[in-house]
Amino acid sequence: MSDKLIIAQSRRSTLDLLLPMANRHGLIAGATGTGKTVTLQVLAEQFSRVGIPVFMADIKGDLSGLSQPGGGNIKVEARAKELGLASIEYADNPVIYWDVFGQKGHPLRATISDVGPVLLARILNLNDTQTGVLTAVFKVADDQGWLLLDLKDLRAMLQYASQNAQKLAAQYGNISAASVGAIQRGLLQLEHEGGEHLFGEPMLNFADLLQTNADGRGVISILSAETLHNTPRLYATLLLWLLSELYENLPEVGDLDKPKLVFFFDEAHLLFNDAPRVLLNKIEQVVRLIRSKAVGIYFVSQNPLDIPDVILGQLGNRVQHALRAFTPKDQKAVKSAAQTFRPNPQIDVEAAITELAVGDALISFLDEKGRPQPVEIGKIFPPMSRLGPVTDLERQKIIRKSSISGYYEEIIDRESAYEILKDQVEKKTGKEMQPEGDPGFDWRDILGKKEVSKRSGRQPQGIIESMARSAARTVGTEIGRQIMRGILGSILGKTRR
């Protein structure tokens, strides 16, 4: 097996990515339509062929073609002829399709507990105070031993914390009703955007991302993100959670001959947009340390300036496609991108960035000692798999043949916080608390469960129920509201002026 991947051809030689340096991370950048997707596809299939599993998100659906052999594409054949290739050995790749919504791949889920309060706060766009309350709620659940698996568990815990705020304040701090309300509204919005599909069980088994097939080729996991990326916070948080879990669960192995996994993060700017400092610190830590777990991360974005400097400085392998310089901001981006490369006296990098043809790129990979090589202009090799999306029939065939087919499709709903708290309420109130005759009205909702419990022995139950039903029928009118206030005042012992 070769210890390098041939990615592109310069005027003088091939431009090779050394496998021992592949876990030093990388960047694929360039304007729309300049060839980033093809470069990503070429890298993915070459990693797969040397036994390295790959994970990537498919924003446009184009990358799904990795599962099918290429052929019949005029542009691919023209590029092969331009590079002097006698022929292309078209071939497919082992692929697993994933989809949070379960429509275009196996469902990909996480539990609320595993995502944690910091990442969840990012999805819900919470401020510092609200994030603190959410963290306290997670801590209460942990101390009680109550599992948080899906959104209904978290809602139940928020309601519990709000109702017991005074009792919990001494140990967990103030849990204000306003903050709980803001979190609940955020959960409603998340559910409206389809976020409930992400949370639950069975949760993703990360061993399924590290598979090789019977031929020793790395399996390419493709996450369908055509719908998901329309909810940028959910998309970015999901991928960051995947990175964080890989970092937490994989053992330290140091520098190996090749990575255990390569992770492509398309539309990388979504990860950093409006990210709070605590989250940026988390991303920096993961990127800096995960290479010792033999994981390489490759960010894909239109502009290098989309990546914070502390992250950009750790991306050793770079492929820069053309940038457009139509505005002063664009010109600044071109200049900044040019300055990130190791200079080559024979190339005016700043001028070349705006003149590159589609499929050409400025390329600088690390050498065997981990040093950036001088930048070269290279023509990206054509992919051996299909350039373009699969059909629905082809996709479903791959899904059915998958080694994990049927496992993630069956939802598991075991006992967790929601079920435990529901059982506690039912045991406290008892069936005798249910009003008879009118299933659409619950007297406890008006008086509160505790008030009914205290007074149930003092007044005949039938009279109270009769009054309640009568009040419910008339509460929609102004007279009804006045009568109700009078009834409540009498029962609760309050005087009216």
What pLDDT digit, counting tens, does each position of 147-187 carry? 999 999 999 999 999 999 999 999 999 999 999 999 999 99
374 cis-preceded (ω within 30 degrees of 0): no
- What residue type is 181 in one-letter code? G
Question: Sorting pLDDT into bands at 50, 70 and 90, what band is 324?
Answer: confident
pLDDT (tens digit per residue) in 106-136: 999 999 999 999 999 988 999 999 999 999 9
**Does residue 153 contact residue 417 with C-beta atoms inside 8 Å?**
yes
CATH 3.40.50.300, the chain: domain bounds? 4-103+201-386
Compute the chain's Rg from CA coordinates.
29
Mean pLDDT across the stretch 270-288?
84
The neighbour count for residue 374, using CB atoms within 10 Å, is 13
CA distances from 148 to 141, 151, 155, 200, 410 (A): 7, 8, 10, 9, 19
- Angle (deg, nearest 10), helices 128-144 and 112-124: 170
> In terms of Cα–Cα distance, which of 24, 31, 104 is closest to 61?
104
Mean pLDDT across the stretch 208-222?
96
Question: Sorting pLDDT into bands at 50, 70 and 90, what band is 432?
Answer: very low
Q: What residues does 62 pair with on adjacent strands? A: none
**Does residue 256 contact residue 294 with C-beta atoms inside 8 Å?**
yes
Residue 211, class by beta-carbon neighbours within 10 Å (0-12 exposed, 13-18 middle, 19+ buried)? middle
- Greater confidence (481 vs 99) lies with 99
Mean pLDDT across the stretch 435-455?
40
**Does residue 46 contact residue 382 with C-beta atoms inside 8 Å?**
no
Owner of token pair 């964080």:
244
Q: What residues does 16 pair with on adjacent strands? A: 6
- The pLDDT score that the predictor gives to residue 473 is 47
**Does residue 435 contact residue 441 with C-beta atoms inside 8 Å?**
yes
Question: Sorting pLDDT into bands at 50, 70 and 90, what band is 436?
Answer: very low
- The pLDDT score that the predictor gives to residue 487 is 42
Percent of the chain having pLDDT more than 70? 86
Whether the pLDDT of residue 204 is over 50: the answer is yes
| E-only strand ranges, 30-127 | 54-58, 95-99, 106-107
Which stretches of 250-386 are DSSP H helices? 269-272, 277-289, 309-312, 328-339, 349-355
Q: State the Cα–Cα distance between residues 398 and 379, nearest whole angstrom.
A: 32
Q: What residues does 26 pair with on adjacent strands? A: 298, 317
Cα angle, residue 364 at apex, residues 361 and 368 outer, rounded to 5°: 145
How is domain 4-103+201-386 classified at the CATH fold level?
Answer: Rossmann fold (3.40.50)
Mean predicted lDDT score pLDDT of the chain: 86
- Greater confidence (278 vs 395) lies with 395
Q: State the Cα–Cα distance between residues 313 and 436, nearest whole angstrom.
A: 69
Phi/psi class of residue 322: alpha, beta or left (left: φ > 0; alpha: ψ in -120 to 50)? beta
**Does residue 324 contact residue 354 with C-beta atoms inside 8 Å?**
yes
Residue 493, class by beta-carbon neighbours within 10 Å (0-12 exposed, 13-18 middle, 19+ buried)? exposed
Mean pLDDT across the stretch 230-256?
89
Q: Show the tokens assigned to 431.
A: 């069936």
Dihedral of the CA atoms 112, 118, 120, 124 (nearest 10)? 160
Report the relative pairing of strands 54-58 and 220-224 from DSSP bridges: parallel
- The pLDDT score that the predictor gives to residue 233 is 83
Question: Sorting pLDDT into bands at 50, 70 and 90, what band is 431?
Answer: low
**Does residue 320 contact residue 29 with C-beta atoms inside 8 Å?**
yes
Mean pLDDT across the stretch 406-423?
94
Sheet with 376-380, side-by-side order of all strands: 14-18, 4-9, 376-380, 360-364, 317-320, 26-29, 295-301, 261-265, 54-58, 220-224, 95-99, 106-107
- Greater confidence (267 vs 297) lies with 297
Cα angle, residue 448 at apex, residues 443 and 449 outer, rounded to 5°: 85
pTM of the model: 0.83
Q: State the Cα–Cα distance between residues 339 and 326, nearest whole angstrom.
A: 19
Helix, strand, or coil (residue 262): strand
Mean pLDDT across the stretch 409-414?
93
Mean pLDDT across the stretch 235-244?
90
Residues whose CB falls within 8 Å of the CB of residue 447, separated by 6 or more in sequence, listed in order: 455, 488, 491, 492
Which stretches of 103-231 are DSSP H helices? 112-124, 128-144, 151-163, 165-172, 177-192
- The pLDDT score that the predictor gives to residue 460 is 44
Whether the pLDDT of residue 247 is over 50: the answer is yes
CA distances from 207 to 219, 246, 295 (A): 11, 10, 14
- Greater confidence (306 vs 18) lies with 18
SS3 content of the chain, % helix, strand, coil (to 5): 50, 15, 35
> In terms of Cα–Cα distance, which of 318, 322, 326, 377 is closest to 355?
322
